[in-house]
Amino acid sequence: MSKGEQTRQEIVERALALAGEVGLEGVSLGVLAASLNLSKSGLFAHFRSKEALQIDVLQRAIDNFIQDVVVPALRQPRGEPRVRKLFDFYLAWTYGNGRGGSCFFMALTHEYDDRPGPIRDLLVQSQRDWYDTIARAARTAVEEGHFRAGLDLDQFAYEFVGIGMVYQQVAKLLENPQAEERARSAFEMLLARSRS
Partner DNA sequence: GCCGAAACCGACCGACCGTGCTATTCTCCC
Partner DNA sequence: GGGAGAATAGCACGGTCGGTCGGTTTCGGC
For a second copy, the binding residues (CB under 8 A) are: 21, 23, 25-26, 98, 100-102, 106-107, 109-114, 120, 123-124, 127-128, 131, 154-155, 158-159, 161-163, 165-167, 169-170, 172-174, 178, 182, 185-186, 189, 193
Crossing angle of helices 104-112 and 50-65, in 10° steps, is 140
The site partner of 138 among DNA, a second copy, none (C-beta below 5 to 8 Å per kind) is: none
Residue 10 or residue 21: which is nearer to a second copy going by CB?
A: 21
Binding mask 50-79 for DNA (x = CB under 7 A): xx----------------------------
Query: Is 118 an interacting residue with respect to DNA (CB under 7 A)?
Result: no
Query: Is 43 an interacting residue with respect to DNA (CB under 7 A)?
Result: yes
The only residue of 16, 18, 19, 38 in contact with DNA, by rule CB under 7 A = 38
Query: Is 151 an interacting residue with respect to DNA (CB under 7 A)?
Result: no
Helix (H, G, I), strand (E, B) or coil at 129: helix
Query: Is 7 an interacting residue with respect to DNA (CB under 7 A)?
Result: yes
Least distance CB 10 / a second copy (angstroms): 23
Indicate left, alpha or beta for 179 from its phi (over 0: left) and psi (-120 to 50: alpha).
Answer: alpha
Residue 30 or residue 100: which is nearer to DNA going by CB?
A: 30
Q: What are phi and psi of 116, to 5 degrees?
A: -60, 160
Query: Is 46 an interacting residue with respect to DNA (CB under 7 A)?
Result: yes
Q: How far is it, in rounded angstroms, from Cα 15 to Cα 33?
A: 9
Q: How far is it, in rounded angstroms, from Cα 17 to Cα 65?
A: 14
3-state helix/strand/coil string of 151-194: CCHHHHHHHHHHHHHHHHHHHHHCCCCCHHHHHHHHHHHHHHHH
- Pure H helices in the chain: 3-22, 29-34, 40-44, 50-65, 71-74, 80-96, 104-112, 118-143, 153-168, 179-195
Least distance CB 111 / a second copy (angstroms): 7
Query: Is 35 an interacting residue with respect to DNA (CB under 7 A)?
Result: no
Q: Which residues bind DNA (CB under 7 A)?
A: 2-5, 7, 27-31, 33, 37-46, 49-51
